[in-house]
Structure formats: structure tokens, C-alpha cells
Structure 1
């Protein structure tokens, strides 16, 4: 079984659509292999994929590479993926199957509080993010760090590079609580088919609309925000 490092947190009809979307994504990745798979969702909203067949080992590795994996135990110095759970003036908390606090001075994303950094980089809640586990910095249920461990966790260099790259382009509109197909349909329905280059999938329900050179991300947010029951954040170069 592989527990994918992306969350399925919507309810009702949206949950069924999201499950169908995830099933299609998984099938696209491993459908040509000699395997059968069963898709489920854990109590903490992380999807699990149970795989059987001759190519099961290969299929599990493919899914780990594509989505990242939530593992039961974290080892110091290793890189993992967690989803953005909460933030305050002291840092952010990622959900990696257990809450992991990253202190503000370990974000490595320039000046400002975690809240200001979240605004600057368009970090929507539940965004999958890479981090290096420090051996300490595990948060309790309230998000408070365990003070018995000295070594904090930090954002991975690859994650910092990715976020810095976002600020060097033509602007982005980041969205959560919607599949890529739902975001595309909303943009097109609202008359913005010519205002974006592509929609980058960040997670199952987290997308990044890459704007054209002449598109103003805050203007795009104002135009489509009423149609998307989601959190939307702009990245303005």
C-alpha cells in the first residue's frame, strides 16, 4: 500500500468527483503495468492505494515519485512531503501523517512573518510541500513544538527553489479545494481562456494557474473568485 502525499478534504458530490479524478490520475500512471489497484481514503484524508500484481513494486515506486508518500516514521535528515496545515507568527505546521512544525527562521523564503510569506508566495492551505525532517520539531495536536528536541525541521532546498521560481514568472493564481478540470472549466466559463498559459497540478485539489504576460493575477482572482468555493492566493512577480 502507498499513502499518497496529497489530501482529499472536500465533501459531498465534490468528494466523489475528486475520487474519480484521483482514480484517473493513478490509472494514467500505472494502468499499463500488470497490476490491479484499490483506492481508499484514510481517516486523516490522505488517499491510500493498495496494489496487487506482477508489477506491484514498480507501480508503488511510480506513485511515490509522482505524488510523494506519507510514511509512518520520519528519520532525521531525510526529505519528505507534508501538506500545509496551519501557520502562525512562529512558523508553519505541515501534516506528514503527523504534525511537523517548521519554525519561521527555517523557512528560508526571505523576510517577513509566516503569514506575510504565505501571502507573497500564494501558499494555499493543504499545499503539498517538501521538508527536511530534523529529528525534532514535531508539533503536538495544538501545533506547539516539542521542546525536548533541539534540531528543527526546515523547508527542503528544492521547495525553496520552486517557490522562488514562482515569483520570477508572469504571475500565478493558486487555488485549493478544486481539481484541475474544475479550475479549467471555471476559467473558461468566466471568459478567461486566453488569460492563462496552463494549470499546473500541485496536488489533487491544489492547482496553480500560470498567467499570461498581460494578465493581472489579482484581477483574475477578483473575476473568478465568486465561482470557486476555494481559497485563492496570488503570486505577483
Structure 2
């Protein structure tokens, strides 16, 4: 069994659509392997894939590499993935099966409070973020260097609109419905239900947010370079 570091936190029909999307994503990763698998959701909303077969070790490793894994055991100095559950003046709180607090001075994302950083990078709740675990007796957790690099790379682009509570297919369909398909480059998947709409150079991210916001019952934020 692999507990993926991405959550299924919507309900009703949206939950069923999300699970269908997750099954498709898992199939894309491991369908050529000699395994049988089932997809489910843990009590804390993390996605779970149970795998059996001759290639089960390979399949688990592929999914761990693609999505990160929620594990009960952490090692000092190792990198893991947690979902962004909250933020305040003191730092970020990530859910990695347990609450991981990354203090403000360990974010490494430039000046400003954590609240200002969330706004500047357009981060939405539940976005998977990589962090380096620190033994509580010897140090503090920090965002991983590769995560900092990824977020800084966003600021060198043409702007983004980040969304949660919707699959990639639902976000693409919403952009099309709002008549803005030609205004974006693509929709980048951050997690199962967290997406980043990459705008074209001439597209105004706040304008795109306003156009699609009425169609999506979601948290939506802009990243303006």
C-alpha cells in the first residue's frame, strides 16, 4: 500500500469524479506493469493505492516518485511531501500524516510574512510542498531547496492562476466554458485537486480569475510576476 501525498477532500459527485481522475492517473503510471491495484481514500483524506503483483515494488516506487508518500516514519535531513494546510504570521503548517510546522525563517521565499508569501506566490490550501524534516531535538523543518526553486521559477513566467478543489480536467473545461482557452498555455497539475493555470504573456491573471471564479467553487489565487 502507498499513501500518496495528495488529498481527496471534496464530497458528493465531486468526490467520485476525483477518484475517477485518480484512477486514470495511477493507470498512466503503472498500467504496463504486472500488478493489480485499487484506489481509495484514508480517514484523513490522503489518497491510498493498494498494489499486488510481480511488479508491486516497482509500481510503488513510481507512485512515490510522482506524488510523494505519506509515511509514519521520518528521518532527520530527508525530504518529504506535505500538503499546505494552513499559514499564519509564524510560518506554514504542512500535513504529512502529522502536522509539520515550517517557521517563517525556514521558508526561504524572500521578504514578507508567511501570509504575504502565500499571496505573492498565489498558493492555495492543500498544495503539495516538499520539505526537509528535522529532528525536533536538533533543528527545525524547512522547505526543500527544490521546492523553493520551483516557486521562484513561477515568478519568471507570465503569471498563473492557482485553484484547488477541482481536477485538471475540470479546470480546463472551466477555462473553455469561460471563453479563455486561447489565453492560457496549459493547466499544470500540482496535486490531484490543486491546479496551476499558466497564462500567456498578454493575459491578465486577475482578469482570468474573475472570469472563471463564478464557475468554480474553489479557492483561487493569482501569481503575478
TM tier relative to shorter chain? over 0.9
- Which of 198, 205, 210 does residue 198 from structure 2 map onto? 210
- Which of 155, 164, 172 does residue 184 from structure 1 map onto? 172
Distance in structure 2 (CA, Å) of the matches to 1:88 and 1:193: 35
Q: Does 1:196 align with 2:168?
A: no
Equivalent position of 2:12 in the other structure: 12
Equivalent position of 1:79 in the other structure: 79
Equivalent position of 2:113 in the other structure: 113
Q: Does 1:65 align with 2:53?
A: no
Equivalent position of 1:55 in the other structure: 55
Equivalent position of 1:227 in the other structure: 215
What TM-score results when the alignment is normalised by the length of structure 1?
0.94
Equivalent position of 1:165 in the other structure: 153
Distance in structure 2 (CA, Å) of the matches to 1:3 and 1:207: 20
Q: What are the ranges of 5 or more consecutive residues in structure 1 without an aligned counterpart?
A: 137-148
What is the alpha-carbon root mean square deviation over aligned residues?
Answer: 0.6
Deviating beyond 3 angstroms after TM superposition, the runs of 4 or more aligned structure 1 residues are: none
Deviation at 1:122, TM superposition (A): 0.8
Deviation at 1:219, TM superposition (A): 0.7
Secondary structure of residue in 2 paired with 1:70:
coil
Secondary structure of residue in 1 paired with 2:174:
helix
Secondary structure of residue in 2 paired with 1:194:
helix
Q: Describe the superposition over 1:47-99 as per-residue Cα deviations: whole angstroms up to 9, x where unpaired.
A: 11110111111111111111111111111100000000011100010000000
Q: Describe the superposition over 1:104-145 as per-residue Cα deviations: whole angstroms up to 9, x where unpaired.
A: 000000010100000000110000000001112xxxxxxxxx
Q: What are the ranges of 5 or more consecutive residues in structure 2 without an aligned counterpart?
A: none
Equivalent position of 1:32 in the other structure: 32
Distance in structure 2 (CA, Å) of the matches to 1:108 and 1:57: 35
Deviation at 1:150, TM superposition (A): 4.6
Distance in structure 2 (CA, Å) of the matches to 1:171 and 1:117: 15
Aligned length: 225
Distance in structure 2 (CA, Å) of the matches to 1:164 and 1:25: 27
Distance in structure 2 (CA, Å) of the matches to 1:200 and 1:105: 28
Secondary structure of residue in 2 paired with 1:117:
helix
Distance in structure 2 (CA, Å) of the matches to 1:177 and 1:234: 16
Distance in structure 2 (CA, Å) of the matches to 1:106 and 1:65: 24
Q: Does 1:124 align with 2:147?
A: no
